[in-house]
Amino acid sequence: MIAAVKGWPAVLAALLFFLPRCARSADDPAGAARELARRTAAFAGRGALVAVAWRNLASLDSAAAGQARAAFETTLEEAGVRLSEIAPVVEAQITLSENESQYLMVEESRKGAERQVWIASWKRGTPPAAPAEGVTLEKKLVWEQDEAILDVAFPAAGLLVLSPARVALYTQANGKWEASKSVALTPAKTGPRDPRGHLRTSGKSFQAFLPGMACSGATEPALQMECRAADEPWVLESGSRALLVGNFAAARNYFDGRVTTQSGMRKTVPPFFSAASVEDQGRTWWVLAQVDGRSQIFDAAWQPSGVAGQWGSDIAGTDARCGGGSQVLATRPAEGEADALQAFAVSNQAVTAMTGAVDFPGPVTALWPSGGTSVLAVARDLRTGRYAAYLVTVVCGR
Amino acid sequence: MTFRTRLLLIFTMAVAAAVGVVELVVSSRARQAFEDMEAKRAEALVTQFNREFARRGMEVMRTVESIAASAAARDIAISPDASSYVDQAAALAATHGLDLLELVAGDGAIVSSAEWPARFGYKEDWLATEPDWQARGAFLKREELPDGVALALVAVGTASAGDRKLYVAGGRLLDREFLSTLVMPAGMRVLLYRNLAPEFSPSELIGAPGPAPGAARLKSLIEQVARERRDVTATVGRGAEAETFHALPLTGYESGLLGVLLIGSSRRDLVELEASMLRTAITVAAAGILMGIALSWWATARITRPVRRLAESAGRVAAGDWGATVEVASADEIGQLAGAFNRMTHELVEQRDRLVQAERVAAWRELARRLAHELKNPLFPLQITVENMQRARESYPEQFDEVFREGAATLLAELSNLKQIVARFSDFAKMPAPEMEPVNLNRVAAETMKLFEGQLAKARVRASTELDAALRPVQADREQMTRVLRNLILNAIDAMPEGGTLTVRTVAPETGARLEVSDTGQGLTPEECERLFTPYYTTKTHGTGLGLAIVQSVVSDHKGRIAVESEKGKGTTFRIDLG
Amino acid sequence: MAGAATRPHYGGTLRVEMREAFESPEAMAPPAGFVLASWEAGRRALYTADESAAGGRPYLDSIEIQMGRPLRDQSTDLELGKADVVELGPNELRRQIAGRKVWSSSPVRLMALVFGPRVEDERVREALALAVDRGAIHSVLLQRQGEISGALLPQWLSGDAFLFAPAFDGARARSLATALAAPARTISLAVSDASLRPIADRIALNARDAGLVVPVSAQSVNADVRLVEVRMASSDPARALAETAADLGLAEPSRSDTPEALYNAERALLDGFRVIPLFHLPRVFGAGPRVKGGPGITRLGEWHFENLWVEDRP
């Protein structure tokens, strides 16, 4: 490795190179490479032989590195300098490196006893999105964005996306969803951490439930919505038939336990994050993923009658009836790591896993029934930080 | 030396010799017994040390082997990354009671060191040199520690897992704590010199209480053991502080001398015993001597007192008191001796009186003879001259005037001669007492010689002066000393009628002064030397013979001495010592 | 934003322990989203959740911070369940503890040798710089935490730390030391942080191999050289360089608008071996099993507790 610059003469020499031409940030690797190549040519002199060694310490892929190298060599040739490993006048070591905000191209050149160090840089862009990984079960990516997704609904010919700060409507055009309109949400006070929200659509109209706010609107002819501060209970479906109405705790991320059953009965149960109903032998049971970590099974009289096992805090019911009983999708009881969904059957208060786990590239941040045998799962990609909404469908018979 | 003293000495020597012999014999026997006992005790201590050393070694060996056999050692041996075990040795050493412990990988790199934690990764290549550490047992080793060097009893165990090996090298320091486990009889101590520095270092000598004081006096013993690599015994110190040390070399792992064990046995008891015996001997001798003094006093009183009285009287006689007598108190030999002494002194007195009388008579006779001779000489010419004048008046009056003139001259000359003779006698009779003052005899000699220059030249006598410049002034009468010198010079001239050399010499002895007058005349016989200073003894045909008598009288008045040395035909030297 | 398969729980107190002890609250950066409730200088601080914090009220009700705890005691408390978040040193990191999470920042701590003004001969400083075997210290004592460095700024921050590759040349160090007079070969090394003492002892041993005598002590008054740690608090390279230079007692670096100017400024600070960078280390924390929602630190190793919550379920 070429030794680093030492001594005031070298620093002065570096400054002389520095002053006439400001070492400003380049736009891309090629620009940075050309910058260094010009300096190298001036250092070596026209017609001189230069030996160059390359190494990549950055996260740049081979394409970008190749681009830089090509630009460097081309510029050198244009300046009348030839590349050669045999008896070079100048030996250069070029290292691709990076810091938080920039990529660096660092050249250490030596001509006899004289040494120079030059550094060119360019800004780091948005890293390319990583493709979603395949699932074992039927998992389909329906939408992804940088902003958090609280829920996604599918009104007529559209995609309605609920985020903490807005509701956006997307319409299909040329096989792709294109933004149609979005309406900002302006809550009266700051929302809680781990914001949650739920969309309920009915034809063209929709309801949006958020902590401390209730919104209603329509998607046609254009998206419009009205919101007001309210502590109205949320309507929780399970599959397409079961319903539960539960009060959401103010400034929190869970339901406070005051529920009203489909039959109108008011009950107070332990606080819970999510709920799903199951049918077993003609009876409807509810499972609540409670705040205390247990997934409690309640009978028709809303009496506790067993624990579903080690599930995560997000469960959602479906209409899937694979094997006779109904299936509930539940997340894994882990935090901070890649999550998974698995379908379970609950029968005679016993829980049985029905499928293998469907993996997600990060934690599941929202799980809502999407009607029928599907659920809408939102996961945050741990690597990219983007949120992706998936429709996960329980397919029986595979 | 008096008889009493001699007798006393004989008694004393007899007593001292007897007591001394007894003391020597007893002392020698006691020392031998002490040294025999001391040797036995030292041997027992050496045995005890060796046993304790072996026991410690076994203990260290067992501990090290148990660590090597433990699961922890095996885990370290097979672990591909030993870096996480860097603290292991300290914990193992603490739990197993070892002062030193190193866990070393098969390639010799230290995994963990209890005594020097920072040395991980450093190589201990010596561990691979021994094929069977178990058979080697425990051994002494020089250990480097962060704050210096120490001596330790070390053993090595090996943990093996497949082809992976871990050396477990552990030990205990050989320090004062080890020494304190040895049981020492009273008067004995054990020291350990740790031979860890290139040069002798006093701080490396330790005992059970700690650093041993006075290490410098053991330096030569320790160096001798280091050179010769064998046991050495030597006594160090003097008197009650003396100690006999048995020094044993302690060799280490590679046969290097790592330490010297010193077992010291104080000689205080022996010294005190010897001192006690000596004191007793001295006491007995002193008593014996006192008794001897008493006996000798009594014995000599019976013998020496009369003898001393005899001796005293003899001394008085020698001093001139010829009338001294001794009391006769017994009828034995001493009494007989006393009687004989008394008779002798009585005889002596009588003889002296007779001698004195005879000498006086002889001296008067001599004086009368000389006087008669001296006076006779001028008297005859006087008588003849008067008779001649009488005859001339009577017989041939025409020649009376001439005869009267010649006769008158002769009468006057002879009368002058007579007057000189009378004057000399008068001078000699009434020579005054000297008036003393500091006189430099060199100056007197020089001045006197100057006066005689002409006379000496006329007598064809060469004058020589050898005056000592260091001559100090002496108390003398200048005039009389001048006279003395003049008389001696005149004598010398008279002794060299054909000429010769006259030498006047002064010498500065330690005290006083010496004056010598030498001639190269015909010399004197011994008989003549004897009678030289007798008044009117003269070898000269003229002169009164008073000259030397005056010299002797002056010298005597100056409390000096005069002597003469002469050899017939060679010359004579008169020597006067004053002061 | 917190997102987990298990939803965050509101409530509870997070028990945090730290080595440093601060006398006043201003000296310690408070955890974001919390407000100071009580302060016992040098011993304990209690922060409670700020209901109107940006991004929403934190899940935790409060954070209790115990100051001045040695690393070994912090690790024991974590194991016994008496603490939730503790600092971890290499020794503590070596021990495998079930249920313990480890949060590690980017290398933001610079461990370096800093010479005092008394050591005027540059040969002494260079000899010590060449004598230190960083590799052994890094792999054994630091358990390969962080990275060996010859630069003031870590690679991730400046991007050019590789240009300051540290040299380990025992032969040259010995030859420099041999040319010195005997008194100049003795340099006192002070290390006030007891957890760094094993590293200081190893440096002294390396120096001894080179012919230097380096007694180690805890007293830093009048020491010839000190083993210190400084922490980067800014992710802006120029600012981090200026703050690091100030912390190490070096001159203010020249203006560094570009990477090349930054490099030259850093090079100028390192000329003369007044400072010998050794390692860049992360801040490492351990979190107990009841702590969820981590990592609870930023890339710079600052606390980021707003999204943590605690659960007591088995």
DSSP B29-97: HHHHHHHHHHHHHHHHHHHHHHHHHHHHHHHHHHHHHHHHTSHHHHHHHH-S-GGGGTTHHHHHHHHHT
Instruction: Residue B84: list chain C partners with CB under 8 A.
Output: 94, 143
Structure-block tokens of residue A235: 């309507």
Instruction: Residue A191: list chain C partners with CB under 8 A.
Output: 56
pLDDT digits (tens, 9 = 90+) for B368-397: 776 776 776 667 667 777 877 887 888 878
CATH at residue A153: 2.130.10.10
Instruction: Residue C205: list chain B partners with CB under 8 A.
Output: 116, 118-119, 122
CATH at residue A71: 3.40.50
- The answer to whether the Cα torsion of C201, C205, C207, C208 is positive or negative is positive
pTM of the model: 0.60
From residue B117, alpha-carbon distances to B533, C30, C211 in Å are 114, 38, 20
Strand, helix or coil for residue B269: helix
* CB contact (8 A) between residue C3 and residue A364: yes
How far apart are the C-alpha atoms of B251 and B138, rounded to whole Å? 12
Q: Are A329 and A191 part of one and the same domain?
A: yes
How near does any CA of chain A get to the CA of C294, in Å?
A: 7
Q: Are A279 and A345 part of one and the same domain?
A: yes
In a domain, A151, yes or no: yes
In a domain, A71, yes or no: yes
In a domain, A57, yes or no: yes
Interface mutation target, options C140, C203, C205, C208, chain B, most CBs of B under 10 Å: C140
Q: Are A77 and A189 part of one and the same domain?
A: no
Q: In chain C, which residue's Cα lies nearest the Cα of B117?
A: C198
Q: Are A383 and A277 part of one and the same domain?
A: yes
Instruction: Residue B148: list chain C partners with CB under 8 A.
Output: none
DSSP E strands in B428-557: the ranges are 437-439, 461-466, 474-476, 500-507, 513-519
Considering A72, A101, A123, which residue would you say is the last residue of a domain?
Answer: A123
Considering A92, A123, A154, which residue would you say is the last residue of a domain?
Answer: A123
Q: Are A172 and A83 part of one and the same domain?
A: no
How far apart are the C-alpha atoms of B496 and A393, rounded to whole Å? 176
Amino acid in the structure at residue B277 = M
Mean pLDDT per block of 10 residues along chain C (314 residues) reads 61 93 86 92 94 86 94 91 91 74 90 93 95 93 90 93 92 94 93 91 96 91 92 91 94 88 94 95 92 86 90 67
Q: What are phi and psi of A246, to 5 degrees?
A: -135, 145
Instruction: Residue C168: list chain B partners with CB under 8 A.
Output: none
Structure-block tokens of residue B111: 């995994």
Give the H/E segment covering residue B444: helix B441-451
The domain of A372 spans 136-395
Residue B473, C-beta contacts closer than 8 angstroms, at least 6 positions apart:
B438, B439, B440, B441
pLDDT reported for residue C82: 94
Q: Are A27 and A149 part of one and the same domain?
A: no
Q: Are A116 and A254 part of one and the same domain?
A: no
CB distance A191 to A211 below 8 Å: yes
CB distance C22 to C28 below 8 Å: yes
Q: In chain B, which residue's Cα lies nearest the Cα of C200?
A: B118
In a domain, A348, yes or no: yes
Chains contacting B (3 or more CB pairs within 8 Å)? C
Of A104, A108, A333, Cβ closest to residue C6: A333
Of B84, B87, B118, Cβ closest to residue C201: B118
Q: Are A194 and A145 part of one and the same domain?
A: yes
Give the H/E segment covering residue A186: none
Sequential pLDDT tens for chain A (398 residues): 333 445 555 555 444 444 444 445 677 888 899 999 999 999 999 889 999 999 988 888 888 888 899 999 999 999 999 998 888 999 999 999 998 888 999 999 999 999 999 999 998 864 433 332 322 368 889 999 999 999 999 988 689 999 999 999 998 887 778 888 899 988 767 778 889 999 998 888 899 999 988 999 998 888 899 998 888 899 998 876 778 899 999 889 999 999 998 778 888 999 999 999 988 767 788 999 999 888 898 888 888 888 887 788 999 998 877 766 678 899 988 766 788 888 888 777 678 777 888 889 899 999 999 988 889 999 999 889 999 999 998 887 64
Q: Are A270 and A304 part of one and the same domain?
A: yes
Residue A218's closest CA among A272, A289, A167, A292? A167
Q: What is the ipTM of this complex?
A: 0.80
Instruction: Residue C204: list chain B partners with CB under 8 A.
Output: 118
pLDDT reported for residue A325: 66
Q: Are A87 and A201 part of one and the same domain?
A: no
Considering A96, A123, A150, which residue would you say is the last residue of a domain?
Answer: A123
Sequential pLDDT tens for chain B (579 residues): 766 777 778 877 887 888 788 878 887 888 788 878 888 887 888 888 888 888 989 999 999 999 999 998 998 998 888 888 898 999 999 999 999 999 999 999 999 999 999 999 999 988 988 888 888 889 999 898 988 888 899 999 999 888 889 999 999 998 888 888 777 777 788 889 988 888 888 888 888 888 888 888 889 989 898 888 888 888 888 877 888 888 888 888 777 888 888 888 887 777 777 788 778 878 887 887 788 778 777 776 777 677 777 778 888 877 777 777 877 677 777 778 878 878 888 887 788 777 777 777 776 676 777 677 677 666 766 777 787 788 788 887 888 888 888 888 878 877 887 887 787 777 767 677 889 999 999 999 999 999 999 999 999 999 999 999 999 999 999 999 999 999 999 999 989 989 999 999 999 998 899 999 999 998 888 888 877 766 555 555 444 467 887 888 899 889 999 999 998 888 999 999 998
* CB contact (8 A) between residue C271 and residue A254: no
* CB contact (8 A) between residue A99 and residue C57: no
Residue A159's closest CA among A211, A207, A217, A201? A201
How near does any CA of chain A get to the CA of C3, in Å?
A: 5
pLDDT reported for residue A397: 62
In a domain, A128, yes or no: no
Structure-block tokens of residue A233: 């209970």
* CB count in 10 Å sphere of residue B321: 12
Number of helices and strands (H, E) in chain B? 14, 17
- The answer to whether the Cα torsion of A55, A57, A60, A61 is positive or negative is positive
pLDDT reported for residue B538: 58
How far apart are the C-alpha atoms of B456 and B519, rounded to whole Å? 12
* CB contact (8 A) between residue B84 and residue C143: yes
Q: Are A191 and A74 part of one and the same domain?
A: no
pLDDT digits (tens, 9 = 90+) for B280-320: 878 887 887 788 778 777 776 777 677 777 778 888 877 77
pLDDT reported for residue A129: 34
For residue C186, give the DSSP letter. B
How far apart are the C-alpha atoms of C123 and C127, rounded to whole Å? 6
In a domain, A189, yes or no: yes
pLDDT reported for residue B536: 55
In a domain, A283, yes or no: yes
In a domain, A129, yes or no: no
The string over B338-357, giving b where at least 16 C-beta atoms fall within 10 Å of a residue's C-beta and e elsewhere, is beebbeebeeebeeeeeeee
pLDDT reported for residue C205: 95
Of A192, A193, A313, Cβ closest to residue C5: A313
What is the number of domains present in chain A? 2
* CB contact (8 A) between residue B86 and residue C140: yes
Q: Are A151 and A63 part of one and the same domain?
A: no
pLDDT reported for residue A17: 45
Of C55, C263, C299, Cβ closest to residue A119: C263
Instruction: Residue B117: list chain C partners with CB under 8 A.
Output: 198, 201
Residue C231, C-beta contacts closer than 8 angstroms, at least 6 positions apart:
C108, C109, C110, C283, C301
How far apart are the C-alpha atoms of C31 and B239, rounded to whole Å? 82
